[in-house]
Copies of this chain bind each other. A is one copy, B any other.
Amino acid sequence: MSDVGGIAAERLRSFVERIERLEEEKAALAADIREVFAEAKGSGFDTKIMRQVIKLRKMDRADVEEQETLLDLYCRALGMREPEKAAADD
């Protein structure tokens, strides 16, 4: 007796509950990550920069270069000083 409105109710319920369980675990991990960031902040690190670093570590070197070349190109097209030079020369 597991049909409600033509739907295999038990089957559906099982799927939904499995997903909900996994999402709970996922949310818990997200909370953990937030905590680590908070701890890092408490130790004086700049979390925004940390996020950038982590993103960079995840990206392929190739992607990074591609993006930077394009950014540079657009900046020059607009007559801006390329940002890449800023940090280099001090």
Contact = CB atoms under 8 A, between A and B. Distances in A.
A7 interface: yes
Nearest to A29: B26
Q: How many copies does the complex hold?
A: 4
Interface residues of A, number: 64
Interface in A7-53: 7-9, 11-13, 15-16, 18-20, 22-23, 25-26, 29-30, 32-33, 36-37, 39-40, 43, 45-46, 48-50, 52-53
Given A15-B39, A56-B80, A80-B57, A87 B74 contact: no
Contacts of A70: 46, 49
A80 B76 CA distance: 27
B90 A5 contact: no
